[in-house]
Structure 1
Amino acid sequence: MRNIIYGINLSADGCCDHTKFGGGEETVQYFTDLMQDVDLIIYGRKTYQLMVPYWPEVAKKQSGTKTENEFARTFDAIDKVVCSRSLHNVEGNARLIRANLAEEVLKLKQEPGKNISLGGVSLPSELIALGLVDEYYFLVHPVLVGQGRRLFDDANFLESQNLQLADSRTLKSGCIALHYLKRR
């Protein structure tokens, strides 16, 4: 069965609003590397609309830095699934899931392939609560923002999510990359 991996940038005080802190080339490279073992991305509407058409345009025009262009090409080549009841259509290599979230995502996990990447905040909370997320990649930035949306603020987990640290490393920027596995 394929693994669903969840990766997100966070401030040291748990803010997940990317507009509150910078990322830089090293952050973009971190997520590009993470995407090398991914052949499907799952987003909710908000994250999808944040990422598309921005990154496909960068891929097409090669208008970013070398690192951003590499991420854009990698991102653009990966198939996407968007979970939304309000969107009517999606672009390019994306398709919609409108209902039966748990059932549809479980089917995706059972298909052959590489890892499935999960992004955003609300949708991951739902899939974590359903027990469908296998790995977590938290990139913790060395900044306290004091305000903004916190990761899992809206989550309603019925039970604790016990994780096992698989790896950690400090990037040159001072970011800490934490990789956790769901305990079985």
Structure 2
Amino acid sequence: MRKVIYGINLTLDGCCDHTKGVGYEDVHEYFTDLMRDVDLIVYGRKTYELMVPFWPDVAKTQSMSKASNEFARVFDSIDKLVFSKTLDKVEDKNTRLARANPGDEILKLKQEQGKNISLGGVTLPTQLIKLGLVDEYHFVFQPIVVGEGRRLFEEISLPKKLELKLVESKILKSGCVALRYLKQ
């Protein structure tokens, strides 16, 4: 069975607003390595529109740093699934649009053959976490406190406490700390 892996960058005060953090090179390297074992990336509309066309454009132009360019290249090579009720179409060549119930669709995808499934964003992952469909968590904490912005899990009400087991921790050169947890 395929695993659903959720990865996100956070500030030390729990902010997950992409405009508040910093683009550390070693964080791009961390997530590039994680995505090498993935053959599907799943987003909601907002996160998809943040990532595409930005990263596919970087993949074509190779206009950023070495680590960012490699992240873009790997990102661009992976199929994507976007859950949206408002998008009419998707522009990216290897992206498909889903209007089905996310929980039902992810459950079906987990049972198919393939590599892991990467999950990004906040709202859609929150829904799937609540349904117990996320198997692994990668939290990368940036060594900053921003004092404002959207917080992870602020919109979630779990039916029961989510028990996680720490299986790996890594201190990156930038001072970011990557924590990998498995659902118990």
TM class by shorter chain equals: over 0.9
2:159 aligns to what? 158
CA displacement 1:82-106 (0-9 Å, x = unmatched)? 0111111112101111122211111
1:24 equivalent to 2:24? Answer yes
1:84 aligns to what? 84
Q: What secondary structure is seen at the aligned counterpart in 1 of 2:19?
A: helix
- Figure out how many residues of one structure are paired with residues of the other and give that number: 183
Any stretches of 5+ residues in structure 1 without a counterpart?
A: none
2:37 aligns to what? 37
2:6 aligns to what? 6
1:177 equivalent to 2:178? Answer yes
Q: After TM superposition, give the deviation of residue 108 of structure 1 in Å.
A: 0.8
Contact 1:85 1:99 in 2 (8 A): no
For residues 107 and 99 of structure 1, the distance between their equivalents in structure 2, rounded to whole angstroms, comes to 11
Q: Aligned-residue CA RMSD in angstroms?
A: 0.8
Q: After TM superposition, give the deviation of residue 60 of structure 1 in Å.
A: 1.1
- Structure 2 matches for 1:53-132, cutoff 5 A? 53-91=53-91, 92-132=93-133
Q: Percent identity?
A: 64
Q: After TM superposition, give the deviation of residue 179 of structure 1 in Å.
A: 0.2
Q: After TM superposition, give the deviation of residue 23 of structure 1 in Å.
A: 2.3
Q: What secondary structure is seen at the aligned counterpart in 2 of 1:75?
A: helix
For residues 176 and 69 of structure 1, the distance between their equivalents in structure 2, rounded to whole angstroms, comes to 22
For residues 7 and 181 of structure 2, the distance between their equivalents in structure 1, rounded to whole angstroms, comes to 10
Instruction: Compute the TM-score of the two structures, normalised by the length of structure 2.
Output: 0.97
For residues 177 and 113 of structure 1, the distance between their equivalents in structure 2, rounded to whole angstroms, comes to 25
After superposing the two structures, state which structure 1 stretch, 97-106 or 2-11, moved more.
97-106
Which contiguous aligned blocks of 4+ residues in structure 1 show a shift greater than 6 angstroms?
A: none
Q: After TM superposition, give the deviation of residue 39 of structure 1 in Å.
A: 0.5
Instruction: Compute the TM-score of the two structures, normalised by the length of structure 1.
Output: 0.97
For residues 62 and 170 of structure 1, the distance between their equivalents in structure 2, rounded to whole angstroms, comes to 27
Amino acid at match of 1:145: V
